[in-house]
Amino acid sequence: MTTDHGNFVAGWLSLVRQVPSPNCDPRPEGVIPELIVVHGISLPPGEYGGPAIEALFTNTLDPGAHPYFANIAQMQVSAHFLVRRTGEVVQFVSAESRAWHAGVSCWRGREQCNDFSIGIEMEGCDNEDYEEAQYLVLNSLVSALRKQYPSIAHDAIVGHSDIAPGRKTDPGPSFDWSRLTSQSVV
């Protein structure tokens, strides 16, 4: 596992696997990333390592492959990055573009967080500990993002639950925020 992810080229991190998602569009004119939103995802719920997350983010999820998929296969969603349980990073959307990860959301009085945020999905679920490899890689990724986008303040890393309270619970109570904030300061 490496924590050096290379450099950004047009918003794409050079040394990570890239799986472009169609579920994105340009950020509003003049808007730059100012926020990182941490999510938790597993598909099917509680199962790890399969192709379903990538399929969901690329609109190729087979609704018949699992009973849970029938309810979500038509969703058009994405995130900028996915951090797998192994520490692998997959990028779906250029950080220069708007990924569709936050939905109805508000941060410090600003609505539509997709406009000004970068979404990072952690492969996991609310009530299961995240892996050591994920924290190491997430800290490295956050540092790289802050270096590329100095507009992301040190206190501008939140959970999906923070910007969509009552609607979302991820990354969940098992996500150890102290592991992130103590290690990703630049």
What φ, ψ does residue 9 adopt, rounded to 5°? -130, 110
Complete DSSP assignment for 171-183: T-TTS-HHHHHHH
CA distance from start to end of the chain: 21
Strand 35-41 to 117-123 pairing: parallel
Distance CA 141, CA 68 (A): 30
Question: Shortest CA distance to 41 belongs to which of 107, 137, 139, 120?
Answer: 120
Q: Which of 29, 34, 47, 121 is catalytic?
A: 121
**Quick check: is 123 catalytic?**
no
> How many CB atoms sit inside 10 A of residue 46's CB?
10
- With a CB cutoff of 8 Å and minimum separation 6, the contacts of 167 are 103, 104
Strand 81-83 to 117-123 pairing: parallel
> Catalytic site residues?
121
